[in-house]
Each structure stands twice: as C-alpha cells, then as structure tokens.
C-alpha cells in the first residue's frame, strides 16, 4: 500500500508573515497518520517555516535545488543547504522551471542525482502542453521526460523517488484533468517503470497528480488506483483548503 502524499507548492507567493501564518494554520490542523503532508515555501522563508514545523508531522520541501554541492553558481541553492534547513523533499523539473527557466531533462537528471545522493526525496514533475495533448502526444512527452530525468538511476534509486504528473494546461488554469484522464497517464507511467526498472519500483513509486487540485475535486482524483496523492499550488496557499484536500486523501486512504 503506497502512503499518499499531499504536497503544497507555494511557488513565488506569500511574504514572511503570511508564510509563517499558513504554516501555523496547517500545523494546527488535523494530520491523519496515513498521509504524508509536505509544504514547499520559497527558499528565503524555508528557515522560518522549518521552525514552525518542528515537532509536527508536517514535512518541509524545497521548490528546486541545484546539482552541484557548492561553488561559483550565483543564485543557486544546493541540496545539502536544503537538507540543512530540514527539507526532506524537493520538487524538480516543475513545468514552470522547464518552460520559464528553460530547464532540460539533462539538468533535471543532474538535480535528481544530487537530491538522492543527499538523502532528499525528489518529486519529479512531468506533464504535457495543451497542443501536445490535442495532437495525441501525451504519452510520448511524459515518457521522454521521465526517461530523460531518471537516466542512469538504479531501480533502487527510482523506488525512492516520487513522480508528479502535472498536465501543463491544468496548472493554475482551473481546468483539471478528469480523474479518468489522469488515471490513464498514471497507469502508463507505472507500466513504464515496470518495463524500465522492475515490479518493485513500479509498485513502490508514488505518482501524484497536480493541476488545479482543490477541495471539490480532490476526493475523486485521489480515488483513482494509480493516483497516490496531489501536488497542490493555488489551493495550498490557504490552510483551510489545503487541510480539506488532506482530509479528502484520508478518506481515500481509509477505503
């Protein structure tokens, strides 16, 4: 049984006091034992949020991290720095980084290796553009992103990663993939893991769905057999809606 993860991606939102307030609100909410809860604030407020999460089961994650351990890489943050601040997870290859910052599968692959070497669990994002979906390329696109980003990793390393399927056309748009559309891609990705690695990694890897997840659609998405949680953007910026999504996943975990 895969333990569901509900992860909040705050993106470039919230100032220091709003970050602290949101973290406090989530910490004070209900934390069902069967669900892992992760919050990913901006780099500059990781330390402040880390202090609030101390002693709670809510975990901390970075929104990105660089592949080199240190050196002349202006503006970059290493995986060891994230770990030092208490991060157990790091989002890698998010579509906003792929499309706004030009990240390639090669770069994401280097970051994946660095995260795993540091003991941080990477949440690898993959997802197709609207035109790619409309021209029937969804499967090819997500498979090549996954293959490129996981290159050279062993089956054991792959089993330690989390994958997030986030159709780009559903991110921040209010358009959600239907539970059936999401399930289809998740099942394809799981089959590919079995083919490229082994049955154990395919059974172990948690595949999250992301793209306009909100309290009203979470339960239905999370009820799909291959959807093991959610990566939540907009709806993670308020404690109440994030806690409602967590509660929806508990209902699923209990079923």
User: What sign results for the dihedral spanned by CA atoms 202, 203, 206, 209?
Assistant: positive
- Give the contact letters, 111-150, x = binds to ligand PGA (CB under 6 A), - = no: ----------------------------------------
Identify the bridge partners of residue 5 per DSSP, sorted by sequence position. 36, 229
User: What's the start-to-end Cα distance of the chain, in Å?
Assistant: 12
Among 26, 213, 239, 243, binds ligand PGA (CB under 6 A): 213
217 binds ligand PGA (CB under 6 A): no
Among 128, 132, 166, 228, binds ligand PGA (CB under 6 A): 166
Residue nearest to ligand PGA (CB): 233
62 binds ligand PGA (CB under 6 A): no
27 φ, ψ to 5°? -60, -35
Q: How far is CA 5 from the centre of its chain?
A: 9
- Give the contact letters, 4-43, x = binds to ligand PGA (CB under 6 A), - = no: -----x----------------------------------
Q: How far apart are CA 166 and CA 105, in angstroms?
A: 16
Q: How far apart are CA 221 and CA 198, in angstroms?
A: 26
Nearer to ligand PGA, 107 or 232 (CB): 232
Has 166 been annotated as catalytic?
Answer: yes
Q: Which stretch binds ligand PGA (CB under 6 A): 21-29, 63-71, 106-114, 232-240?
A: 232-240
Please state the closest distance from residue 71 (CB atom) to ligand PGA, in A. Answer: 29
Please state the closest distance from residue 155 (CB atom) to ligand PGA, in A. Answer: 27
212 binds ligand PGA (CB under 6 A): yes
Helix (H) or strand (E) holding 39: strand 36-40
Of 125, 126, 42, 124, which is closest to residue 87 (Cα–Cα)?
Answer: 42
Has 99 been annotated as catalytic?
Answer: no
Q: Which residue of the set 36, 94, 96, 103 is catalytic?
A: 94
Of 205, 223, 216, 109, which is closest to residue 165 (Cα–Cα)?
Answer: 205
232 binds ligand PGA (CB under 6 A): yes
Q: What is the CA radius of gyration of the chain?
A: 17
Q: How far apart are CA 28 and CA 114, in angstroms?
A: 33
User: What is the binding site for ligand PGA (CB under 6 A)?
Assistant: 9, 166, 171-172, 210-213, 231-235
Give the active site residues.
94, 166
């Amino acid at each position: 049984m895969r333990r569901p993860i509900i992860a909040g991606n705050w993106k470039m939102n919230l100032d220091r006091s709003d970050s602290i307030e949101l973290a406090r609100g989530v910490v004070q909410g209900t934390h069902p034992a069967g669900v892992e809860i992760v919050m990913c604030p901006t780099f500059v407020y990781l330390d402040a949020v880390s202090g609030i999460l101390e002693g709670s089961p809510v975990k901390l994650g970075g929104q990105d991290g660089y592949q080199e351990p240190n050196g002349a890489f202006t503006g970059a943050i290493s995986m060891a720095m994230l770990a030092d601040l208490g991060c157990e997870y790091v989002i890698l290859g998010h579509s906003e980084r792929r499309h706004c910052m030009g990240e390639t599968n090669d770069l994401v692959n280097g970051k994946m290796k660095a995260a795993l070497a540091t003991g941080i669990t990477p949440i690898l994002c993959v997802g197709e553009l609207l035109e790619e979906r409309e021209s029937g390329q969804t499967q090819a696109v997500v498979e090549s992103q996954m293959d490129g980003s996981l290159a050279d990793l062993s089956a054991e390393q792959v089993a330690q990663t989390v994958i997030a399927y986030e159709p780009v056309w559903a991110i921040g748009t209010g358009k959600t993939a239907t539970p059936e559309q999401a399930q289809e891609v998740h099942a394809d990705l799981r089959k590919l893991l079995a083919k490229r690695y082994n049955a154990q990694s395919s059974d172990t890897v948690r595949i999250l769905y992301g793209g306009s997840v909100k309290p009203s659609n979470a339960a239905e998405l999370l009820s799909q057999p291959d959807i093991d949680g959610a990566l939540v953007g907009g709806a993670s910026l308020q404690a109440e809606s994030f806690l409602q999504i967590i509660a929806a996943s508990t209902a699923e975990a209990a079923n």
